[in-house]
Structure 1
Amino acid sequence: MSDHAAIILLACVLVTLIAILAATAAGYLARRGHATYPAAFSRAAITFAATLALTATVTSAMATLTGKAG
């Protein structure tokens, strides 16, 4: 495995970990706010998806601006 591929893999793992932590925090805070379990799970899932979408958008914008897309 090349260094470039290893860095990309590490970045993917880090982004996924951050998304999981954000989703866990959102679910916990929803439950603390007396939300039902399905509502808390839904909020956690939305937070997970939004974190991954935001990361993909920022990565795409940075790649486009630096000319490294493709």
Structure 2
Amino acid sequence: MNTSSIHLMLLLLLLAVVALFCAFVGAATGLLARIEGATYATALLRGAVAFAGSATLSLALLTFALTAL
């Protein structure tokens, strides 16, 4: 395989792992908010904010790591 195709596959794998991690963070935040007594809308909003925050941080760290290489 070509080196660039290996890097592309690795990047896609890392993006999939980041998306899965962020989905788990958002789901856990929404679940904890719902257990705390928040309404469904509020729990969904808290989960979405946690998803967006973790996605932003994870992609920023991934970008930093890729430019450092």
Same-fold call, TM cutoff 0.5: yes
Residue 52 of structure 2 corresponds to which residue in structure 1? 49
Unaligned segments of structure 1, at least 5 residues: none
Residue 29 of structure 2 corresponds to which residue in structure 1? 26
Unaligned segments of structure 2, at least 5 residues: none
1:37 aligns with 2:48: no
Q: Counterparts of 1:60 and 1:5 in 2: how far apart (Å)?
A: 14
- 1:63: how far off? 4.0
Residue 3 of structure 1 corresponds to which residue in structure 2? 6
Q: Aligned residues, how many? A: 66
- 1:55: how far off? 1.0
